[in-house]
Amino acid sequence: LMHLTRKLIEIRTMLLSIDQNDALKLPSIVVIGSQSSGKSSVLEAIVGHEFLPKGNNMVTRRPIELTLIHTPAKDGKVPSEYGEFPGLGIGKLSNFADIQRTLTDLNLAVPSSEAVSNDPIDLRIYSPNVPDLTLIDLPGYVQIASLDQPETLKEKIAALCDKYIREPNIILAVCAADVDLANSPALRASRKVDPLGLRTIGVITKMDLVPPEQGASILAGNRYPLHLGYVGVVAKSHGKKPTNDTTEIARRGESDYFGSHRDVFGAQSSLMVGTDTLRRRLMEVLESSMASSLHGITNAVQLELEEATYQFKVQYNDRRISPESYVAETMDMLKLRFKDFTQQFKRPIIRAKLKGMLEDKVMDVLEQLYWLDKRAPELGDLGSDPKVKPEDIEPYWRHKLEAAASLLTKSGVGRDSTLLVADGLRSLIDSIATAEPFNFHPRAAERLTEFSHMILRDRIGVTSDQVENCIKPYKYDVEVEPREWEAGRERAVQLFEDEVAMCEMKLNEIKKKVGGGRRLNGLMSYVKTLEEQQKEKNSKVSQNDGEQRGDSEEPLPLESYRYPPAQLMDARYAIMYTDRLSVLKLRLMALKSKRCRAGPQSEVFCPEAFLNVVADKLAYTSAMFINIELLDQFFYQFPREIDSRLLYDLDRKEIVEFARENPVVRRHLDLQERKDKLEEVMKQLNSLSTLRADPQPAPRRN
């Protein structure tokens, strides 16, 4: 039968780790009593060591789940005693003073605002001198609320005790012999949940403080009968000698006391006295209680197991996962997704992107150097106006073209094109890092972005220098083949047509916004006159003196209030788009003219075609070197960094944490673990059925 308790204690611990469901609880002995009733002394007498927090005002603030594990001597060797706090992971403590200190610290860690905590401390003690028992030490009932022990403390402790004294637990009600049992909060609480006293044992402490006859009459239990009886103890040391093992002295004091009153306690054979008797009694009671719980608990575990097995089948189709497999799958998927994404960085795609950027630059250069030039119409008039001779105007426009080409080639193409591609890579990584499953793994996502940024930072400088170096020849001379010229010219036509379409669309939008074309025309001519007036005024002012110059922020003339300011702004934009449209249309005509079609010899008069050819060459060269210096390197390093930075420095604990960050995986693991544990418990329970062959009822006494 000894074996049974031990096994069931193990099973009880496993069940506690599965969940706190009442149906899955095996009984434990719950120790309750008022403060100073001698509760700690009794527990320490059972364990044989002083290990509970002591001192003024030192109230137990958390339940202690105390599991005693008997370690028998093996081959004549007596195993050493030690304690363990499984929840803390601080290893074996063979010095009981260390256990006491740890418990004190854990108690003090409960904020005084909370008074008591429901979170139990798990303590296991392994010793050849203890029986297999599970005891739960609860905070002592407070009888008189004092200044530093507020009323709420009293209530909280009572509530906590109520929670633990529920079935199937056995109640150990500690009462001091020198206090009337009628006033014992422990007995009162027990009577509420166990009116017949079927699962309550009374422990009467401080037997030495009352006359032996009085003590004996309490133990007889006639006033408050308990089915499991009362045990009388003397748990306090008589001598005040400072010593390491006060409990040993206590034990001697106890046997001295009961020995010297053998006449009273020995005579009535039904009286139970002494700590040893108490231990035996507790073992018997726990054993029989566990034995009788066995059937119920087996059924309950069976039910839970069936449910868990069913759910596992239905929800996960019996697919088992492990944190390791999840991590491995996640990393494989990351690499795969990355590989898919690299398709977006094929050379033609990069070249097209760079070309787009350079075409924008071409437009900027044209706007800056050509469209605002007062002589710009010359370029367009060439074909129609016979008075304009190409030779006359060529030097001016040749100079312009050189300036434009240099503006384009020296605009920092190396840096801009490298950054454009690097930005593309960065947003690719960002999109991976913010998408499932990395949205569940913020720390991994952070590392991912961190190391990819690091690779990029490393490569950006080298790449942009290399690109800049390779486009250097174009800064001096660009040779254009007729085929290239035609392609450039066609592309320029296309770009201008797009630009025209864009301007027209904007104009239409404005037209709609202000309420029609006529209204817009009115607005535009109004703004133009306003601007004329303003110009005149400014020039007058500057002629008069320097006095008021710079003070052009004059209030608008009164008439301006005819239109709301927002519409005047729209009109300004409309004027800008109209002006641009007329330039664009002129240039389109020129680009389509015979002169431009003729070939590269017309470059001076068709700068758009020429600059487009240059842009194309720049894009081609940049793409080539960005590919070598940035993309190839990045694509090579990235998967390797995943292995070395995301994977290899994870220990088991971190792998589990990582996997559990994903709620889907967490639920899967939880259910799987629950099922596994229930299976294990079921196996253990089944192996007990042989032990249960001859159940013994617990006798009232031995």
Residue for token pair 């420095």: 649
> Which residues have C-beta within 8 Å of that of residue 187, sequence separation ≥ 6?
173, 175, 181, 200, 202, 224
Tell me: does residue 140 bind ligand GDP (CB under 6 A).
yes
> Which one-letter amino acid corresponds to residue 549?
R
> Which residues have C-beta within 8 Å of that of residue 624, sequence separation ≥ 6?
347, 470
The least CB distance from residue 235 to ligand GDP, in Å, is 4
- Secondary structure (3-state) at 134: strand
Residue for token pair 């094109």: 417
Piece of the chain touching ligand GDP by CB under 6 A; list 31-39, 121-129, 210-218, 430-438: 31-39
Q: Of 39, 61, 489, 580, which lies in the binding site for ligand GDP, with binding defined by CB under 6 A?
A: 39
Q: Which of residues 557-616 bind ligand GDP (CB under 6 A)?
A: none
The least CB distance from residue 157 to ligand GDP, in Å, is 12
Measured distance CA(600)–CA(189) in Å, rounded = 106
Q: Of 13, 17, 36, 292, which lies in the binding site for ligand GDP, with binding defined by CB under 6 A?
A: 36
Piece of the chain touching ligand GDP by CB under 6 A; list 38-46, 99-107, 481-489, 502-510: 38-46
Q: Of 5, 11, 28, 33, which lies in the binding site for ligand GDP, with binding defined by CB under 6 A?
A: 33
Residue for token pair 């200044």: 147
Measured distance CA(455)–CA(467) in Å, rounded = 18
Distances (CA, A) of 338 to 421, 635, 642: 16, 9, 11
Please tell me what DSSP assigns to residue 23. G
- 204 within 8 A of 257, measured Cβ to Cβ: no
Q: Which of 345, 343, 361 is nearest to 618 (CA)?
A: 361
DSSP states along 384-413: T-TT--HHHHHHHHHHHHHHHHHHHHTS-H
Q: Which of residues 620-659 bind ligand GDP (CB under 6 A)?
A: none
Q: Of 13, 17, 35, 560, which lies in the binding site for ligand GDP, with binding defined by CB under 6 A?
A: 35
Binding to ligand GDP by CB under 6 A, coded x per residue (else -) over 220-259, reads --------------xxx-----------------------
Nearer to ligand GDP, 175 or 301 (CB): 175
Residue for token pair 């759910």: 311
Q: Of 11, 30, 31, 38, which lies in the binding site for ligand GDP, with binding defined by CB under 6 A?
A: 38
Q: Which of 217, 160, 162 is nearest to 188 (CA)?
A: 162
Nearer to ligand GDP, 28 or 205 (CB): 205
Joined tokens for residue 390: 């190409």
The least CB distance from residue 26 to ligand GDP, in Å, is 26
The least CB distance from residue 244 to ligand GDP, in Å, is 17
The least CB distance from residue 44 to ligand GDP, in Å, is 8
The least CB distance from residue 189 to ligand GDP, in Å, is 15
Nearer to ligand GDP, 54 or 227 (CB): 54
Strand pairing report for 230-232 and 92-93: unpaired
Please tell me what DSSP assigns to residue 34. B
Binding to ligand GDP by CB under 6 A, coded x per residue (else -) over 182-211, reads -----------------------xx-xx--
Measured distance CA(473)–CA(471) in Å, rounded = 6
Number of residues that bind ligand GDP (CB under 6 A): 16
Piece of the chain touching ligand GDP by CB under 6 A; list 30-38, 240-248, 456-464, 471-479: 30-38
> In this structure, what are the phi and psi dihedrals at residue 77, rounded to the nearest 5 degrees?
-95, 130
Nearer to ligand GDP, 35 or 538 (CB): 35
The least CB distance from residue 52 to ligand GDP, in Å, is 7
Piece of the chain touching ligand GDP by CB under 6 A; list 37-45, 438-446, 487-495, 556-564: 37-45
The least CB distance from residue 167 to ligand GDP, in Å, is 25
Q: Of 41, 134, 612, 622, which lies in the binding site for ligand GDP, with binding defined by CB under 6 A?
A: 41
Piece of the chain touching ligand GDP by CB under 6 A; list 39-47, 218-226, 265-273, 532-540: 39-47
Nearer to ligand GDP, 228 or 273 (CB): 273
Measured distance CA(386)–CA(9) in Å, rounded = 112
Measured distance CA(309)–CA(295) in Å, rounded = 21
Q: Which of 232, 271, 234 is nearest to 253 (CA)?
A: 234
- Residues of this chain that interact with ligand GDP (CB under 6 A) are 33, 35-41, 140, 205-206, 208-209, 234-236
